[in-house]
Chain A
Amino acid sequence: MNASAAALVAARREGGLRRTAADWRLMAWRNGLTAVRRPNVLVSGILFPSILLCLMVGVFSGSIVLPGAAAGLAFVDYLAPSIVLQSAVFTAMTAAGSMAVDLEAGVMDRLRSLPIARSAVLGGRVVDCTARTVLCAGVVLGVAVALGFRFRAGALPAVGFMGIAVVFGFAWSWYGMLVALILRSFDAVAGLMFLTFFPLFFLGGAFVPVAALPGWLQPVGNVNPLTAVTGAMRALALGGPTTTPVLQALGWSAAIALLCGSAAINRFRRGAA
Protein backbone atom coordinates (compact mmCIF):
# COMPACT_ATOMS: atom_id res chain seq x y z
CA MET A 1 0.00 0.00 0.00
CA ASN A 2 2.84 2.34 0.92
CA ALA A 3 4.62 1.56 -2.27
CA SER A 4 1.53 2.11 -4.39
CA ALA A 5 0.90 5.49 -2.70
CA ALA A 6 4.46 6.51 -3.49
CA ALA A 7 3.95 5.29 -7.04
CA LEU A 8 0.78 7.32 -7.31
CA VAL A 9 2.50 10.47 -6.12
CA ALA A 10 5.35 9.88 -8.51
CA ALA A 11 2.96 9.31 -11.38
CA ARG A 12 1.20 12.56 -10.56
CA ARG A 13 4.44 14.51 -10.58
CA GLU A 14 5.16 13.09 -13.99
CA GLY A 15 1.78 14.22 -15.23
CA GLY A 16 2.69 17.87 -14.62
CA LEU A 17 0.79 20.41 -16.58
CA ARG A 18 -2.06 18.21 -17.77
CA ARG A 19 -2.74 16.96 -14.27
CA THR A 20 -2.69 20.48 -12.94
CA ALA A 21 -5.15 21.63 -15.57
CA ALA A 22 -7.45 18.71 -14.73
CA ASP A 23 -7.26 19.57 -11.02
CA TRP A 24 -8.12 23.19 -11.74
CA ARG A 25 -11.10 22.11 -13.80
CA LEU A 26 -12.28 19.71 -11.13
CA MET A 27 -12.03 22.31 -8.38
CA ALA A 28 -13.77 24.92 -10.52
CA TRP A 29 -16.59 22.46 -11.20
CA ARG A 30 -16.91 21.62 -7.51
CA ASN A 31 -17.01 25.31 -6.58
CA GLY A 32 -19.54 26.03 -9.29
CA LEU A 33 -21.80 23.25 -8.02
CA THR A 34 -21.66 24.41 -4.41
CA ALA A 35 -22.29 27.98 -5.54
CA VAL A 36 -25.34 27.08 -7.61
CA ARG A 37 -26.77 25.17 -4.68
CA ARG A 38 -26.49 28.13 -2.33
CA PRO A 39 -29.34 30.57 -2.91
CA ASN A 40 -27.33 33.61 -1.79
CA VAL A 41 -25.27 33.45 -4.97
CA LEU A 42 -28.26 34.00 -7.20
CA VAL A 43 -29.67 36.56 -4.79
CA SER A 44 -26.61 38.78 -4.54
CA GLY A 45 -25.31 38.30 -8.09
CA ILE A 46 -28.54 38.55 -10.07
CA LEU A 47 -31.63 39.31 -8.00
CA PHE A 48 -30.26 42.14 -5.84
CA PRO A 49 -28.64 44.14 -8.69
CA SER A 50 -31.66 43.61 -10.98
CA ILE A 51 -34.10 44.82 -8.34
CA LEU A 52 -31.86 47.76 -7.50
CA LEU A 53 -31.75 48.73 -11.18
CA CYS A 54 -35.52 48.46 -11.66
CA LEU A 55 -36.38 50.32 -8.49
CA MET A 56 -33.82 53.08 -8.85
CA VAL A 57 -34.83 53.72 -12.44
CA GLY A 58 -38.47 53.69 -11.36
CA VAL A 59 -38.01 55.92 -8.33
CA PHE A 60 -35.45 58.47 -9.47
CA SER A 61 -36.01 58.82 -13.24
CA GLY A 62 -38.55 61.58 -12.67
CA SER A 63 -36.64 63.62 -10.11
CA ILE A 64 -32.91 63.22 -10.68
CA VAL A 65 -31.00 65.88 -12.59
CA LEU A 66 -27.58 64.74 -13.77
CA PRO A 67 -24.99 67.51 -14.06
CA GLY A 68 -22.19 68.17 -16.52
CA ALA A 69 -21.44 65.77 -19.34
CA ALA A 70 -24.20 63.40 -18.26
CA ALA A 71 -26.91 66.05 -18.54
CA GLY A 72 -29.75 64.96 -20.81
CA LEU A 73 -28.85 61.30 -20.46
CA ALA A 74 -31.70 58.95 -19.50
CA PHE A 75 -31.08 57.72 -15.96
CA VAL A 76 -31.17 54.08 -17.07
CA ASP A 77 -28.32 54.75 -19.54
CA TYR A 78 -26.26 56.28 -16.77
CA LEU A 79 -27.09 53.65 -14.15
CA ALA A 80 -26.98 50.37 -16.11
CA PRO A 81 -23.15 50.09 -16.47
CA SER A 82 -22.75 50.61 -12.70
CA ILE A 83 -25.26 47.91 -11.87
CA VAL A 84 -23.75 45.41 -14.32
CA LEU A 85 -20.43 46.05 -12.60
CA GLN A 86 -22.08 45.65 -9.20
CA SER A 87 -23.36 42.25 -10.27
CA ALA A 88 -19.85 41.22 -11.34
CA VAL A 89 -18.33 42.40 -8.07
CA PHE A 90 -21.02 40.81 -5.90
CA THR A 91 -20.53 37.51 -7.69
CA ALA A 92 -16.84 37.79 -6.97
CA MET A 93 -17.66 38.46 -3.31
CA THR A 94 -19.69 35.25 -3.09
CA ALA A 95 -16.59 33.32 -4.19
CA ALA A 96 -14.64 34.84 -1.33
CA GLY A 97 -17.50 34.06 1.06
CA SER A 98 -17.58 30.41 -0.06
CA MET A 99 -13.87 30.20 0.50
CA ALA A 100 -14.32 31.51 4.04
CA VAL A 101 -16.93 28.77 4.56
CA ASP A 102 -14.42 26.18 3.29
CA LEU A 103 -11.81 27.51 5.70
CA GLU A 104 -14.22 27.42 8.63
CA ALA A 105 -15.40 23.91 7.81
CA GLY A 106 -11.93 22.46 7.31
CA VAL A 107 -12.37 21.69 3.59
CA MET A 108 -9.10 23.54 2.95
CA ASP A 109 -7.19 21.21 5.28
CA ARG A 110 -8.76 18.25 3.55
CA LEU A 111 -7.70 19.56 0.15
CA ARG A 112 -4.15 20.05 1.38
CA SER A 113 -3.88 16.43 2.34
CA LEU A 114 -4.96 15.28 -1.12
CA PRO A 115 -2.52 14.62 -3.94
CA ILE A 116 -3.75 17.50 -6.08
CA ALA A 117 -2.01 20.53 -7.48
CA ARG A 118 -1.93 23.18 -4.77
CA SER A 119 -2.56 25.93 -7.26
CA ALA A 120 -5.90 24.27 -8.09
CA VAL A 121 -7.39 25.29 -4.74
CA LEU A 122 -7.16 29.00 -5.48
CA GLY A 123 -7.14 28.61 -9.26
CA GLY A 124 -10.38 26.62 -9.24
CA ARG A 125 -11.94 29.45 -7.27
CA VAL A 126 -10.88 32.05 -9.81
CA VAL A 127 -12.05 30.04 -12.82
CA ASP A 128 -15.43 29.30 -11.27
CA CYS A 129 -15.81 32.88 -10.12
CA THR A 130 -15.05 34.31 -13.56
CA ALA A 131 -17.49 31.97 -15.26
CA ARG A 132 -20.26 32.91 -12.86
CA THR A 133 -19.41 36.60 -13.21
CA VAL A 134 -20.03 36.42 -16.95
CA LEU A 135 -23.30 34.61 -16.35
CA CYS A 136 -24.67 36.91 -13.62
CA ALA A 137 -23.55 40.15 -15.24
CA GLY A 138 -25.07 38.91 -18.51
CA VAL A 139 -28.46 38.36 -16.90
CA VAL A 140 -28.39 41.80 -15.27
CA LEU A 141 -27.42 43.33 -18.62
CA GLY A 142 -30.50 41.66 -20.08
CA VAL A 143 -32.65 43.36 -17.43
CA ALA A 144 -31.03 46.71 -18.27
CA VAL A 145 -31.79 46.25 -21.96
CA ALA A 146 -35.40 45.44 -21.07
CA LEU A 147 -35.55 48.75 -19.19
CA GLY A 148 -34.35 50.69 -22.21
CA PHE A 149 -30.56 50.58 -21.99
CA ARG A 150 -28.85 50.33 -25.41
CA PHE A 151 -25.29 50.01 -26.68
CA ARG A 152 -24.78 53.02 -28.93
CA ALA A 153 -21.17 52.43 -29.87
CA GLY A 154 -21.49 49.10 -31.65
CA ALA A 155 -20.76 45.44 -31.05
CA LEU A 156 -17.01 45.46 -30.35
CA PRO A 157 -17.23 48.08 -27.57
CA ALA A 158 -20.14 46.05 -26.14
CA VAL A 159 -17.82 43.06 -25.82
CA GLY A 160 -15.24 45.34 -24.22
CA PHE A 161 -17.95 46.57 -21.81
CA MET A 162 -18.53 43.04 -20.50
CA GLY A 163 -14.79 42.38 -20.58
CA ILE A 164 -14.06 45.30 -18.27
CA ALA A 165 -16.74 44.16 -15.83
CA VAL A 166 -15.35 40.62 -15.77
CA VAL A 167 -11.73 41.77 -15.45
CA PHE A 168 -12.57 44.03 -12.53
CA GLY A 169 -14.67 41.27 -10.93
CA PHE A 170 -11.64 38.97 -11.33
CA ALA A 171 -9.38 41.53 -9.64
CA TRP A 172 -11.91 42.09 -6.86
CA SER A 173 -12.19 38.34 -6.28
CA TRP A 174 -8.47 38.30 -5.35
CA TYR A 175 -9.14 41.03 -2.82
CA GLY A 176 -12.02 38.94 -1.46
CA MET A 177 -9.86 35.83 -1.25
CA LEU A 178 -7.16 37.72 0.61
CA VAL A 179 -9.76 38.95 3.10
CA ALA A 180 -11.19 35.43 3.42
CA LEU A 181 -7.72 33.97 4.09
CA ILE A 182 -7.11 36.57 6.80
CA LEU A 183 -10.50 36.68 8.53
CA ARG A 184 -11.62 33.08 7.92
CA SER A 185 -15.26 33.77 8.75
CA PHE A 186 -18.14 34.14 6.32
CA ASP A 187 -19.84 36.94 8.27
CA ALA A 188 -16.65 38.93 8.70
CA VAL A 189 -15.82 38.63 5.01
CA ALA A 190 -19.32 39.66 3.95
CA GLY A 191 -19.28 42.60 6.36
CA LEU A 192 -15.89 43.91 5.32
CA MET A 193 -16.54 43.52 1.60
CA PHE A 194 -19.79 45.39 2.05
CA LEU A 195 -18.16 48.20 4.04
CA THR A 196 -15.38 48.68 1.51
CA PHE A 197 -17.34 48.26 -1.70
CA PHE A 198 -20.36 50.46 -1.06
CA PRO A 199 -18.54 53.70 -0.19
CA LEU A 200 -16.24 53.28 -3.20
CA PHE A 201 -19.25 52.49 -5.37
CA PHE A 202 -21.44 55.40 -4.22
CA LEU A 203 -18.61 57.94 -4.41
CA GLY A 204 -17.24 56.45 -7.62
CA GLY A 205 -19.86 57.87 -9.93
CA ALA A 206 -22.10 54.81 -9.70
CA PHE A 207 -25.40 56.62 -9.32
CA VAL A 208 -24.53 60.23 -10.14
CA PRO A 209 -21.40 61.72 -11.72
CA VAL A 210 -18.54 62.69 -9.43
CA ALA A 211 -19.21 66.33 -10.39
CA ALA A 212 -22.46 66.17 -8.37
CA LEU A 213 -20.69 65.25 -5.13
CA PRO A 214 -20.06 67.93 -2.49
CA GLY A 215 -16.71 69.65 -3.10
CA TRP A 216 -14.80 68.02 -0.27
CA LEU A 217 -15.77 64.52 -1.48
CA GLN A 218 -14.68 65.11 -5.08
CA PRO A 219 -11.09 63.91 -4.51
CA VAL A 220 -12.53 60.62 -3.16
CA GLY A 221 -14.58 60.41 -6.32
CA ASN A 222 -11.72 61.20 -8.65
CA VAL A 223 -9.10 58.87 -7.19
CA ASN A 224 -11.34 55.83 -7.06
CA PRO A 225 -11.04 52.58 -9.00
CA LEU A 226 -14.80 52.43 -9.50
CA THR A 227 -14.88 55.86 -11.13
CA ALA A 228 -12.35 54.62 -13.65
CA VAL A 229 -14.13 51.31 -14.24
CA THR A 230 -17.70 52.62 -14.55
CA GLY A 231 -16.37 55.51 -16.64
CA ALA A 232 -14.75 53.09 -19.07
CA MET A 233 -17.89 50.93 -19.25
CA ARG A 234 -20.04 54.01 -19.85
CA ALA A 235 -17.74 55.23 -22.62
CA LEU A 236 -17.82 51.80 -24.26
CA ALA A 237 -21.62 51.65 -24.07
CA LEU A 238 -22.60 55.19 -24.90
CA GLY A 239 -19.76 56.34 -27.13
CA GLY A 240 -17.02 58.90 -26.60
CA PRO A 241 -13.27 58.68 -26.12
CA THR A 242 -12.45 55.25 -24.74
CA THR A 243 -8.65 54.83 -24.74
CA THR A 244 -7.81 56.68 -21.52
CA PRO A 245 -10.70 55.38 -19.39
CA VAL A 246 -10.20 51.80 -20.56
CA LEU A 247 -6.48 51.96 -19.80
CA GLN A 248 -7.23 53.43 -16.39
CA ALA A 249 -9.77 50.70 -15.65
CA LEU A 250 -7.38 47.96 -16.73
CA GLY A 251 -4.57 49.57 -14.74
CA TRP A 252 -6.63 49.62 -11.55
CA SER A 253 -7.77 46.02 -12.10
CA ALA A 254 -4.19 44.85 -12.72
CA ALA A 255 -2.94 46.69 -9.65
CA ILE A 256 -5.62 45.22 -7.38
CA ALA A 257 -5.21 41.72 -8.82
CA LEU A 258 -1.40 41.76 -8.53
CA LEU A 259 -1.29 43.28 -5.07
CA CYS A 260 -4.06 41.23 -3.48
CA GLY A 261 -3.32 38.14 -5.57
CA SER A 262 0.36 37.95 -4.57
CA ALA A 263 -0.54 38.61 -0.92
CA ALA A 264 -3.26 35.94 -0.99
CA ILE A 265 -1.03 33.34 -2.66
CA ASN A 266 1.76 34.17 -0.27
CA ARG A 267 -0.51 33.70 2.72
CA PHE A 268 -1.94 30.51 1.32
CA ARG A 269 1.56 29.08 0.70
CA ARG A 270 2.78 29.97 4.17
CA GLY A 271 0.08 27.67 5.46
CA ALA A 272 -2.19 30.28 6.94
CA ALA A 273 -5.03 28.38 5.35
Chain B
Amino acid sequence: MTAATVTERVASHRERAIACTVSETLVLAQRGLTSVLRTPRTVVFVIAQPVLFLLLFTAVLSETVVVPGVQRYADQLVPAIVILAVSGAALGPGVTLLADLDGGLLDRLRSSPIARGALVSGLAVAAVGVTILALGALLAAGFATGFRFRAGPWATVGFLALAVGCGVAWIWVSLALALATRSQEAVRQSLQLGSFVLLFGSGAFVPVATLPGWFQPLARANPVTPATEALLALSAGGPTARPVTVALAWIVGTCLVCATFTFRRYQRLE
Protein backbone atom coordinates (compact mmCIF):
# COMPACT_ATOMS: atom_id res chain seq x y z
CA MET B 1 0.00 0.00 0.00
CA THR B 2 1.47 3.34 -0.99
CA ALA B 3 1.68 6.34 1.28
CA ALA B 4 -0.93 8.19 -0.77
CA THR B 5 -3.62 5.57 -0.32
CA VAL B 6 -3.01 5.41 3.43
CA THR B 7 -3.35 9.19 3.67
CA GLU B 8 -6.47 9.00 1.57
CA ARG B 9 -7.93 6.30 3.76
CA VAL B 10 -7.18 8.24 6.92
CA ALA B 11 -8.76 11.34 5.39
CA SER B 12 -11.88 9.49 4.26
CA HIS B 13 -12.02 7.85 7.63
CA ARG B 14 -12.22 11.19 9.41
CA GLU B 15 -14.90 12.36 7.08
CA ARG B 16 -17.24 9.52 7.86
CA ALA B 17 -16.46 9.60 11.56
CA ILE B 18 -19.78 8.52 13.03
CA ALA B 19 -20.48 5.81 10.48
CA CYS B 20 -16.94 4.50 10.94
CA THR B 21 -17.17 4.50 14.70
CA VAL B 22 -20.39 2.54 14.51
CA SER B 23 -19.04 -0.06 12.12
CA GLU B 24 -15.80 -0.41 14.09
CA THR B 25 -17.79 -0.83 17.28
CA LEU B 26 -19.77 -3.59 15.61
CA VAL B 27 -16.62 -5.34 14.42
CA LEU B 28 -15.18 -5.32 17.95
CA ALA B 29 -18.58 -6.32 19.35
CA GLN B 30 -18.61 -9.33 17.08
CA ARG B 31 -15.11 -10.18 18.18
CA GLY B 32 -16.17 -9.86 21.86
CA LEU B 33 -19.26 -12.01 21.37
CA THR B 34 -17.32 -14.67 19.48
CA SER B 35 -14.75 -14.91 22.24
CA VAL B 36 -17.51 -15.29 24.84
CA LEU B 37 -19.32 -17.95 22.84
CA ARG B 38 -16.08 -19.88 22.39
CA THR B 39 -15.51 -20.00 26.14
CA PRO B 40 -18.04 -22.68 27.11
CA ARG B 41 -17.35 -22.11 30.79
CA THR B 42 -18.51 -18.50 30.59
CA VAL B 43 -21.61 -19.41 28.60
CA VAL B 44 -22.52 -22.12 31.10
CA PHE B 45 -21.99 -19.78 34.04
CA VAL B 46 -23.98 -16.92 32.52
CA ILE B 47 -26.91 -19.20 31.66
CA ALA B 48 -26.73 -21.65 34.56
CA GLN B 49 -26.43 -19.15 37.40
CA PRO B 50 -29.82 -17.40 36.98
CA VAL B 51 -31.62 -20.61 36.01
CA LEU B 52 -30.17 -22.45 39.00
CA PHE B 53 -31.04 -19.66 41.42
CA LEU B 54 -34.55 -19.31 40.03
CA LEU B 55 -35.21 -23.03 40.45
CA LEU B 56 -33.64 -23.16 43.90
CA PHE B 57 -35.42 -20.07 45.19
CA THR B 58 -38.69 -21.37 43.76
CA ALA B 59 -38.20 -24.72 45.47
CA VAL B 60 -37.31 -23.15 48.79
CA LEU B 61 -39.52 -20.07 48.95
CA SER B 62 -42.69 -20.77 46.98
CA GLU B 63 -44.33 -22.75 49.79
CA THR B 64 -42.92 -20.90 52.78
CA VAL B 65 -43.03 -17.21 51.93
CA VAL B 66 -46.44 -15.67 52.36
CA VAL B 67 -46.72 -12.31 50.61
CA PRO B 68 -50.02 -10.47 50.85
CA GLY B 69 -51.33 -9.55 47.41
CA VAL B 70 -49.09 -11.96 45.48
CA GLN B 71 -50.82 -15.20 44.60
CA ARG B 72 -48.02 -16.95 42.71
CA TYR B 73 -44.58 -16.43 44.17
CA ALA B 74 -43.04 -17.23 40.76
CA ASP B 75 -44.42 -13.86 39.59
CA GLN B 76 -42.49 -12.07 42.35
CA LEU B 77 -39.37 -14.15 41.93
CA VAL B 78 -38.68 -13.85 38.19
CA PRO B 79 -38.15 -10.04 38.26
CA ALA B 80 -35.75 -10.49 41.19
CA ILE B 81 -33.73 -13.12 39.34
CA VAL B 82 -33.72 -10.90 36.21
CA ILE B 83 -31.50 -8.53 38.19
CA LEU B 84 -29.26 -11.45 39.15
CA ALA B 85 -29.07 -12.61 35.52
CA VAL B 86 -28.17 -9.23 34.03
CA SER B 87 -25.62 -8.44 36.73
CA GLY B 88 -24.02 -11.87 36.17
CA ALA B 89 -23.82 -11.21 32.44
CA ALA B 90 -22.28 -7.78 33.12
CA LEU B 91 -19.26 -9.36 34.80
CA GLY B 92 -17.84 -10.17 31.36
CA PRO B 93 -17.12 -6.76 29.79
CA GLY B 94 -15.17 -5.35 32.75
CA VAL B 95 -13.01 -8.44 33.16
CA THR B 96 -12.48 -8.77 29.39
CA LEU B 97 -11.49 -5.11 29.06
CA LEU B 98 -8.76 -5.57 31.66
CA ALA B 99 -7.61 -8.81 30.05
CA ASP B 100 -7.44 -6.99 26.68
CA LEU B 101 -5.42 -4.15 28.18
CA ASP B 102 -3.03 -6.65 29.78
CA GLY B 103 -2.79 -8.62 26.57
CA GLY B 104 -1.70 -5.61 24.53
CA LEU B 105 -4.83 -5.32 22.40
CA LEU B 106 -5.06 -1.60 23.11
CA ASP B 107 -1.58 -1.07 21.67
CA ARG B 108 -2.54 -3.08 18.61
CA LEU B 109 -5.72 -1.07 18.10
CA ARG B 110 -3.88 2.22 18.52
CA SER B 111 -1.76 1.38 15.51
CA SER B 112 -4.89 0.67 13.45
CA PRO B 113 -6.96 3.42 11.86
CA ILE B 114 -10.03 2.89 14.04
CA ALA B 115 -11.91 4.91 16.60
CA ARG B 116 -10.22 4.65 19.97
CA GLY B 117 -13.37 4.12 21.96
CA ALA B 118 -14.50 1.25 19.74
CA LEU B 119 -12.93 -1.32 22.04
CA VAL B 120 -15.03 -0.18 25.00
CA SER B 121 -18.25 0.32 23.08
CA GLY B 122 -17.70 -2.98 21.27
CA LEU B 123 -17.41 -4.83 24.56
CA ALA B 124 -20.57 -3.09 25.80
CA VAL B 125 -22.53 -4.14 22.70
CA ALA B 126 -21.25 -7.72 22.92
CA ALA B 127 -22.29 -7.84 26.57
CA VAL B 128 -25.82 -6.82 25.60
CA GLY B 129 -25.90 -9.95 23.43
CA VAL B 130 -24.77 -12.06 26.39
CA THR B 131 -27.40 -10.38 28.58
CA ILE B 132 -30.13 -11.30 26.11
CA LEU B 133 -28.89 -14.89 26.15
CA ALA B 134 -29.05 -15.00 29.96
CA LEU B 135 -32.51 -13.42 30.01
CA GLY B 136 -33.79 -15.92 27.43
CA ALA B 137 -32.59 -18.85 29.52
CA LEU B 138 -34.06 -17.34 32.67
CA LEU B 139 -37.47 -16.66 31.11
CA ALA B 140 -37.59 -20.21 29.72
CA ALA B 141 -36.95 -21.57 33.21
CA GLY B 142 -39.48 -19.06 34.57
CA PHE B 143 -42.17 -20.40 32.28
CA ALA B 144 -41.44 -23.88 33.60
CA THR B 145 -42.02 -22.70 37.17
CA GLY B 146 -45.34 -21.00 36.41
CA PHE B 147 -44.29 -17.45 35.54
CA ARG B 148 -46.47 -15.87 32.84
CA PHE B 149 -46.81 -12.47 31.20
CA ARG B 150 -50.29 -11.46 32.31
CA ALA B 151 -50.31 -7.76 31.44
CA GLY B 152 -50.67 -7.81 27.66
CA PRO B 153 -48.27 -7.66 24.70
CA TRP B 154 -47.12 -4.05 25.14
CA ALA B 155 -46.32 -4.58 28.78
CA THR B 156 -44.37 -7.69 27.77
CA VAL B 157 -42.33 -5.67 25.30
CA GLY B 158 -41.78 -3.12 28.06
CA PHE B 159 -40.67 -5.88 30.45
CA LEU B 160 -38.08 -7.19 28.00
CA ALA B 161 -36.83 -3.70 27.15
CA LEU B 162 -36.55 -2.73 30.80
CA ALA B 163 -34.73 -5.96 31.65
CA VAL B 164 -32.19 -5.31 28.88
CA GLY B 165 -31.97 -1.68 30.06
CA CYS B 166 -31.04 -2.84 33.56
CA GLY B 167 -28.40 -5.01 31.91
CA VAL B 168 -26.97 -2.05 30.02
CA ALA B 169 -26.67 -0.08 33.26
CA TRP B 170 -24.81 -2.98 34.92
CA ILE B 171 -22.51 -3.29 31.88
CA TRP B 172 -21.42 0.33 32.22
CA VAL B 173 -20.93 -0.12 35.95
CA SER B 174 -18.72 -3.12 35.16
CA LEU B 175 -16.62 -1.20 32.61
CA ALA B 176 -16.28 1.80 34.92
CA LEU B 177 -15.23 -0.46 37.81
CA ALA B 178 -12.66 -2.11 35.56
CA LEU B 179 -10.94 1.18 34.76
CA ALA B 180 -11.35 2.50 38.31
CA THR B 181 -9.72 -0.54 39.94
CA ARG B 182 -7.56 -1.98 37.12
CA SER B 183 -7.88 -5.40 38.78
CA GLN B 184 -9.93 -8.30 37.44
CA GLU B 185 -10.41 -9.77 40.86
CA ALA B 186 -11.60 -6.45 42.29
CA VAL B 187 -14.14 -6.12 39.47
CA ARG B 188 -15.45 -9.63 40.10
CA GLN B 189 -15.66 -9.24 43.86
CA SER B 190 -17.18 -5.78 43.93
CA LEU B 191 -19.70 -6.52 41.18
CA GLN B 192 -20.83 -9.81 42.69
CA LEU B 193 -20.99 -8.49 46.22
CA GLY B 194 -22.59 -5.23 45.10
CA SER B 195 -25.32 -6.88 43.04
CA PHE B 196 -25.99 -9.32 45.84
CA VAL B 197 -26.32 -6.60 48.49
CA LEU B 198 -28.50 -4.44 46.25
CA LEU B 199 -30.72 -7.40 45.36
CA PHE B 200 -31.28 -8.68 48.87
CA GLY B 201 -31.47 -5.19 50.36
CA SER B 202 -34.41 -4.31 48.14
CA GLY B 203 -38.08 -5.07 47.72
CA ALA B 204 -37.21 -7.74 45.14
CA PHE B 205 -38.11 -10.84 47.14
CA VAL B 206 -40.92 -9.43 49.28
CA PRO B 207 -42.77 -6.11 48.94
CA VAL B 208 -41.17 -3.21 50.78
CA ALA B 209 -44.22 -2.90 53.05
CA THR B 210 -43.51 -6.31 54.63
CA LEU B 211 -39.90 -5.41 55.51
CA PRO B 212 -38.97 -4.33 59.05
CA GLY B 213 -39.58 -0.60 59.61
CA TRP B 214 -35.91 0.45 59.88
CA PHE B 215 -35.16 -1.38 56.66
CA GLN B 216 -37.87 0.24 54.53
CA PRO B 217 -36.19 3.61 53.79
CA LEU B 218 -33.00 1.80 52.71
CA ALA B 219 -34.96 -0.54 50.45
CA ARG B 220 -36.90 2.36 48.94
CA ALA B 221 -33.70 4.26 48.13
CA ASN B 222 -32.26 1.15 46.46
CA PRO B 223 -32.46 1.30 42.63
CA VAL B 224 -33.25 -2.44 42.47
CA THR B 225 -36.57 -1.79 44.23
CA PRO B 226 -38.14 0.38 41.48
CA ALA B 227 -36.59 -1.86 38.83
CA THR B 228 -38.15 -5.04 40.20
CA GLU B 229 -41.41 -3.25 41.00
CA ALA B 230 -41.58 -2.06 37.41
CA LEU B 231 -40.78 -5.53 36.06
CA LEU B 232 -43.41 -7.04 38.35
CA ALA B 233 -46.03 -4.51 37.23
CA LEU B 234 -45.16 -5.10 33.56
CA SER B 235 -45.56 -8.87 33.92
CA ALA B 236 -48.15 -9.48 36.62
CA GLY B 237 -50.10 -6.25 36.12
CA GLY B 238 -50.56 -3.18 38.29
CA PRO B 239 -49.74 0.53 38.05
CA THR B 240 -46.61 0.93 35.95
CA ALA B 241 -46.07 4.66 35.45
CA ARG B 242 -44.20 5.51 38.65
CA PRO B 243 -41.86 2.50 39.04
CA VAL B 244 -41.03 2.51 35.32
CA THR B 245 -40.17 6.21 35.38
CA VAL B 246 -37.99 5.87 38.47
CA ALA B 247 -36.27 2.77 37.08
CA LEU B 248 -35.60 4.47 33.74
CA ALA B 249 -34.19 7.52 35.51
CA TRP B 250 -31.80 5.26 37.45
CA ILE B 251 -30.77 3.41 34.30
CA VAL B 252 -30.12 6.59 32.29
CA GLY B 253 -28.31 8.25 35.19
CA THR B 254 -26.11 5.22 35.86
CA CYS B 255 -25.25 4.82 32.17
CA LEU B 256 -24.38 8.51 31.79
CA VAL B 257 -22.17 8.68 34.85
CA CYS B 258 -20.40 5.37 34.30
CA ALA B 259 -19.98 5.73 30.53
CA THR B 260 -18.56 9.25 30.89
CA PHE B 261 -16.14 8.05 33.54
CA THR B 262 -15.14 5.02 31.47
CA PHE B 263 -14.43 6.96 28.28
CA ARG B 264 -12.55 9.69 30.15
CA ARG B 265 -10.34 7.14 31.86
CA TYR B 266 -9.93 5.15 28.70
CA GLN B 267 -8.76 8.12 26.64
CA ARG B 268 -6.11 8.85 29.25
CA LEU B 269 -4.77 5.30 29.39
CA GLU B 270 -1.07 5.03 28.71
The chain A residues found within 8 Å of chain B, CB to CB, are 38-40, 43, 47-48, 51-52, 55-56, 58-67, 187-188, 191, 195, 198-199, 202-203, 207-208, 212-214, 217
A-B CB contact pairs (8 Å), 16 listed? A40-B189, A43-B193, A51-B196, A51-B197, A55-B197, A55-B200, A59-B200, A62-B210, A63-B67, A63-B206, A65-B65, A191-B44, A199-B56, A203-B56, A213-B63, A214-B59
Residues of B within 8 A of A202 (CB): 56-57, 59-60
Instruction: Please tell me which one of the listed residues B41, B44, B52 contacts residue A198 in the complex, with CB atoms under 8 A apart.
Output: B52
Q: Please tell me if the beta carbons of A64 and B64 are within 8 angstroms of each other in the complex.
A: yes
Residues of A within 8 A of B62 (CB): 214
Secondary structure of the B contact surface, majority rule: helix
Residues in chain B near residue A212, CB distance under 8 A? 60, 63-64
Residues of B within 8 A of A48 (CB): 193, 196
In the assembly, what is the distance between CA of A193 and CA of B64, in Å? 27
List the A side residues contacting B210 at CB < 8 Å.
62-63
A interface footprint on B197-224 (CB within 8 Å = 1, 0 otherwise): 1001100011000111001000000000
**Which residues of B are found within 8 Å of A65, using beta-carbon distances?**
64-66
Q: How far is A43 from B189 in the complex, measured between Cα atoms in Å?
A: 8
Residue in B186, B200, B206 whose beta carbon sits within 8 Å of that of A62 in the complex? B206
Rounded to whole Å, the gap between the CB of B44 and the closest CB of chain A is 8
Q: B157: CB under 8 A from chain A? A: no
Q: Taking the nearest CB of chain B, how far is it from the CB of A260, in angstroms? A: 22
Pairwise interchain contact A58-B196, C-beta atoms closer than 8 A: no
- Is B143 part of the binding interface, using a Cβ–Cβ cutoff of 8 Å? no
- Residues of B close to A62: CB separation below 8 A: 206, 210-212
In chain A, what residue has the closest Cβ to B185?
A40
* Interface SS of A by simple majority: helix
Which 7 residue pairs are nearest across A and B when measured between Cβ atoms?
Answer: A55-B200, A202-B56, A208-B64, A212-B64, A63-B206, A62-B210, A63-B210
Are A67 and B64 also in contact (CB < 8 A) when A40-B185, A58-B215 are? yes
B193 and A60 contacting across the interface, CB-CB below 8 Å: no
Give A188 to B45 CA distance when docked, in angstroms.
10
A56 touches B200 (CB 8 A): yes
8 A Cβ contacts from B165-193 to A? 185-186, 189, 193
The answer to whether B60 touches A47 (Cβ under 8 A) is: no
Identify the B interface with A (CB < 8 A).
Answer: 41, 44-45, 48, 52-53, 56-57, 59-67, 185-186, 189, 193, 196-197, 200-201, 205-206, 210-212, 215
Q: A188-B41, A195-B48 are in contact. Are A58 and B189 (CB under 8 A)?
A: no
Identity of the chain B residue whose Cβ is nearest the Cβ of A56 in the assembled complex: B200
The residue of chain A having its C-beta at the shortest distance from the C-beta of B67 within the complex is A63
* Min CB–CB distance A11 → chain B (angstroms): 42
Residue on A with the closest CB to B53? A198
B96 to chain A, nearest CB (A): 13
The answer to whether B45 and A59 have CB atoms under 8 Å apart is no
Given A39-B189, A43-B189, decide whether A63 and B66 contact each other with a Cβ distance below 8 A: yes
Q: Are B56 and A198 in contact, with the CB atoms below 8 A?
A: yes
Q: Which chain A positions have C-beta within 8 A of B48?
A: 195
Given the complex of chains A and B, what is the CA–CA distance between A123 and B124 in angstroms?
Answer: 45
Q: When chains A and B are docked, how far (Å) is the Cα of A246 from the Cα of B174? A: 45
| A65→B52 CA distance, assembly (Å) | 23
**A187 proximity list for chain B (CB < 8 A):** 41
Q: Write out the residue numbers on chain A whose beta carbons fall within 8 Å of the beta carbon of B45.
A: 191
Instruction: Say yes or no: B211 contacts A55, CB within 8 Å.
Output: no
Neighbouring B residues of A63 by C-beta, 8 Å: 65-67, 206, 210
In the complex with contacts A58-B211, A191-B41, A208-B61 CB distance below 8 A: yes
> With A40-B185, A43-B189, A59-B205 known to touch, is A217 a contact of B64 (CB < 8 Å)?
no
Contacts of A213 in B (CB 8 A): 59-60, 63
Among residues of A, the one whose C-beta sits closest to the C-beta of B188 is A40
Q: Which residue of B lies closest to A221 (CB)?
A: B59
Contact of B64 among A39, A56, A58, A66 (CB under 8 A): A66
* CB nearest neighbor in A for B48: A195
